[in-house]
Structure 1
Amino acid sequence: MARFFKPQKRKVTDTKHKEIEISRLDHLGAGIGHINRKPVFVDGLLPGEKALVQFTEDKKQFARAKVIKRLADSQARIKPHCPIYDQCGGCNLQHLSHSGQVEAKQQALSELMSKFAIPDRELAFNQAAPIVGSDKHYRRCSRFSLKLGGGKLQFGFRKKQSKDIVDVEQCPVLAQSLNELLPPLRSLLTRLKGQKHLGHVELVEADNGRVVLIRHLQPFNDKDMTLLRQFAEQYDVILYLAPTSDSIDRISGQAPYYELDGQKLYFSPKDFIQVNRDVNSQMVRQALDWLDVGPTDRVLDLFCGLGNFSLPLAKRAKALVGVEGVDEMVHRASDNALINQLNNASFYQANLEEDVTSMVWAQEHFNKILLDPARAGAAGVMQHVVNLNPERVVYVSCNPATLARDSQVLLKQGYQLERLGMLDMFPHTGHLESMALFTKNSLGSKK
């Protein structure tokens, strides 16, 4: 008998308003409450608050909802300091004090690690003080969206859960030197004949000047190029143009760099760098302290980027090997090592999600390892880390869920979590960064 496909009936989300009370925050800053015993995630609500909400997503195991009306506010709620906070998609926790954010992120980190990796009693003993900097003007790099509509150029950030743009005059988390550049930059862009071909603008506060990168979809004419060069000269900026998504041309100024641990790290505005200068410096110092690197150590730095950890490590170790997936960043790290006269550092390109055991660098011995993976974590390389049998492993994470997952590989092989700390890299957002130290056979004293 022939069988005919019978489509499943599509489930319609219940949009009736429902009352909810929030019990805690998740690791992304959303409030969590329960309706009919199902966990419901609601952005913008704090523990203890009651609200009318409407489901936006209703799965078997959980639901998401948006706020219709708050019914009872938490005493921890404060007035956001940004005038466009309710529209802009950049920050999502300004309704909670900075100290409250730090506390909530510490709690979320502890809950995830205790649920998937470490018992509560061990976490309490091993918890390190959070690394915290200023919650204002901490961003040294940012991307601004551009769109021409109705004869007016919109210049700002994407709205929450939308492709629309909210105009930005000043941003309270952006470095002040970059804020000062926004009005003249906006004026420049509105005078360009080719403004309809503009894509976006990226700003970076380097230690040798302000960087402006302009993405454009068509070449600028001679008059526009003159205006761009005049702007760069008048405001002393390092100007880049990006005619394609893969190429950039420096029009003015010297190559940008930032200083760290007495060294200069050169970068391209296309490169990833840590946005928070102060917290980055503290983070690197803590990693050096926890790894306890000395002149006899051989250190492996996985997901090394342009050398943010590698160069300070190489300065103290006998030998440093950095491995990174992006070939361009490998060259940048190598060049930075040469510029800073570090002859004991070598860098390799490798896809760390694949088997690396046959690679030349993977045959070497390392007694200390640092990992700083992207949000997806380091699942592909964790078994190799264990096989190298290092004394100490420092794992720097931007996603506590994948940190908890990857930690299990180390713990099952006899490592113990000696220290765990939260890094407040992105105040007023739900991004939660952390650092964990794993040791074998309790080597070394607790820092």
Structure 2
Amino acid sequence: MVQFYSSKQRKVKSDNLTVIAESLDVKGQGVAHYQGKIIFITDLLPGEQAQIQFTEEKRQFAKAKVSKRLTDSLDRVAPFCRHFGICGGCQQQHVTPALQRAAKISRLEYLFQRETGSAVKSLPVITGSEYGYRRRARFGLQYQHAERRLRMGFRQSQSNVLVELKMCPVLQPELEKLLLPVADCLNKLAAVKHLGHVELVNADNGVSVILRHLKPLTTNDKILLTAFARRYNLNVYLVDNSANRLKLVSLASNDSEPYYSIENVKLTFDPQNFIQVNPEINKKMVAQALDWLALEPQDRVLDLFCGMGNFTLPIARHVNAVVGVEGVAELVAQGRFNASLNQLTNVEFYQADLEFDIDCQPWAKMGFNKILLDPARAGAMGVMPHIIKFKPERVVYISCNPTTLVKDSQQLLTAGYQLMSVRMLDMFPHTSHLESMALFCRDLSK
């Protein structure tokens, strides 16, 4: 029988506690309540009943695992990957995609309701392939002295232990089929004990392998890697302990850099720099942003946190002028190169730290009637007052963190903007990541 006792913290005796999950959180945990306490339960879906055991308990909530599941939900499916439940890469392969999305939408709408006081109804989710969607992945490498071999894989959840991957169905097929050959090749290197990580990137013009090594490679190691690249038609890059990069071999195409195309624009990129890993959703996201901006030939658009021009250059094809601002110098240089490559002369790129006062920046004195921003997880709190000063007609906010999106949105709403549309992007199926985008319009009568 469940009992409470009073001390500095009220605790629940969890032996043989039976609960029914009421909902699913964005991390794929079942949510139940017992005597006023919220319980988050790993591997329990809404409507399922189970006996649980606490793994952590706080004053307001507890975490638990299932000791025995008593009923099964129709939303429970067999995981597609043999490593699911051990590997920390995916959290929700046991859940139907429909329920995954519904849980994330519910979280997004709840946060807007809590912060703004107004009900928000999001538009249909932007969806794509549920498996085979990742065109980029970084794998940890750990040499096992007892086994005298190298492990390659993702880490377990909340652990430094590597799960050695034999398959990874969320990777694009071109990358998944390389998992075992890459691991086998790395195990043959003399430097096998001194490797940091390996990254696989699938571009429109072929696959690149980026290997981080902590000690110099021998000539024979480079010969082995070159032969491997020739066999699988790969680009191979070596990155040493000082982050210096050497292009060992380029075989996948005659192009000097990887690239992808979007909205009739060709975007080359440094294989170590950030790109959106889900190309299908990225194309739909950019198309939605262009539609929401309602671009006209006379528009002047500001793209903040622009990277190498994922949005900037497609926008440039429709407007009078566009300015992209980014904090990373290498991405700014890549954006300028891509503008030249695509013969777009109405684009300017600037480097600036958008967390500091930007009034002295040359681009801050220009006029813009529309703004797009795509910040990192920390959000754009520092730049929101400056966006408001520009008084743009429309603001499109791309977000990888709903909490900072909602907080930043509050500043726009207070300044008289209206939240016109919100959409969730299923950028990372089977994971806890929640990507979204929002459109704000200014009341032109004010």
Q: Does 1:129 align with 2:124?
A: yes
Aligned to 2:24: 25
Equivalents in 2 of 1:258, 1:356: separation in Å? Answer: 32
Correspondence for 1:288: 290
What is the alpha-carbon distance in structure 2 between the residues aligned to residue 437 and residue 182 of structure 1?
Answer: 40
Cα 1:15/1:298, change in 2 over 3 Å: farther
Counterpart for residue 214 of structure 2: 217
Name the SS for the 1:279 alignment partner. Answer: helix
Q: 1:12 to 1:160 in 2, by over 3 A?
A: farther
For the residues of structure 2 that align with 1:438 and 1:243, how far apart are their CA atoms? 45
Q: CA deviation at 1:159?
A: 1.4
Confirm or deny: 8 A CA contact 1:32 1:41 kept in the other structure. Answer: yes
* Separation in structure 1 between the aligned mates of residue 214 and residue 228 of structure 2, nearest angstrom: 20
Question: How is 1:43-442 mapped onto 2 (pairs within 5 angstroms)?
Answer: 43-117=42-116, 119-120=118-119, 123-124=120-121, 127-149=122-144, 150=146, 151-244=148-241, 246-253=243-250, 254-441=256-443
> How many residue pairs get matched?
431
Q: TM-score, normalised by structure 1?
A: 0.92
SS at match of 1:294: coil
Deviates more, 1:279-288 or 1:334-343: 334-343
8 Å CA contact 2:131, 2:169 repeated in 1: yes
State the AA in 1 paired with 2:31: I
What is the CA–CA distance in structure 1 between the aligned matches of 2:8 and 2:35, rounded to whole Å? Answer: 22
Amino acid at match of 2:349: F
Question: What is the one-letter code of the residue matched to 1:134?
Answer: S
Identical-pair percentage: 49
Deviation (angstroms), 1:104? 2.2
Change in CA separation of 1:43 and 1:298 when aligned onto 2, cut-off 3 Å: farther
- Contact in 1 for aligned 2:81/2:167 (Cα 8 Å): no
Letter in 2 for 1:292: A
Tell me, what secondary structure is at the counterpart of 1:139? coil
Segments ≥4 residues shifted beyond 4 Å: 9-16
Once the two structures are TM-superposed, the CA of residue 102 in structure 1 deviates from its matched residue by 2.0
Deviates more, 1:21-30 or 1:412-421: 21-30
SS in 1 for 2:230: helix
- Report the TM-score when normalising by structure 2: 0.92
SS in 2 for 1:129: strand
Q: CA deviation at 1:160?
A: 2.0
Residue pair 1:25, 1:108 contacting (<8 A) in 2 also: no
Compute the RMSD of aligned alpha carbons.
Answer: 2.0
Return the letter of the residue paired with 1:178.
Answer: L
Deviations 1:214-252 (A, max 9, x none): 111001111111101111122111111110363322112
Where 1:109 maps in the other structure, the secondary structure is helix
1:170 & 1:309 partners in 2: Cα distance? Answer: 33
Q: What is the SS of the residue equivalent to 1:210?
A: strand
Superposed CA deviations along residues 263-292 of structure 1, whole A, max 9, x for unmatched, are: 111111211111111010000000000001
User: Per-residue deviation at 1:71?
Assistant: 3.2
| Matched-pair contact (CA < 8 Å) for 1:27–1:109 | no
**What is the deviation of 1:16?**
4.3
Q: Deviation of residue 416 (structure 1)?
A: 0.6
CA 1:13–1:153: 2 relative to 1, 3 Å: farther
Please, which runs of 5 or more residues in structure 1 have no aligned partner?
1-8
Structure 2: segments with no counterpart, 5+ residues = 1-6, 251-255
**Cα distance in structure 2, aligned partners of 1:338 and 1:28:** 42
Structure-2 separation of matches of 1:75 and 1:168: 29
Aligned in 2, Cα 1:128/1:223: closer, same or farther, shift over 3 Å?
A: same
Q: Are the aligned partners of 2:11 and 2:59 in contact in 1 as well (CA < 8 Å)?
A: no
Mean alpha-carbon deviation: is it higher for 49-58 or for 256-265?
49-58
Structure 1, residues 282-330: CA drift from partner, whole Å, max 9, x if none?
Answer: 0000000000112111111111111111110111111111111112111
Contact 2:297 2:319 in 1 (8 A): yes
Aligned AA (1:72): T
Q: What letter matches 2:386 in structure 1?
A: H
Which residue of structure 2 lines up, in the alignment, with residue 5 of structure 1?
none
CA contact (8 A) 2:197 2:213 kept: yes
How far apart are the structure 1 equivalents of 2:214 and 2:135? Answer: 26
Structure 2 distance, partners of 1:235, 1:331, is 31
Q: Report the residue type matching 1:381 in the other structure.
A: V
- Aligned residue in 1 for 2:3: none
SS in 1 for 2:82: coil
Q: Distance in 1 between matches of 2:198 and 2:369?
A: 43
For structure 1, which segment, 241-250 or 64-73, has the greater mean C-alpha deviation from structure 2 after superposition? 64-73
Return the letter of the residue paired with 2:202: E
Aligned-partner Cα distance in 2 for 1:32–1:220: 50
Q: Report the 3-state secondary structure (helix = DSSP H, G, I; strand = E; otherwise coil) of the residue aligned with 2:59.
A: coil
Q: How many angstroms apart in 1 are the aligned matches of 2:27 and 2:74? A: 21
- Determine the structure 1 residue equivalent to 2:253: none
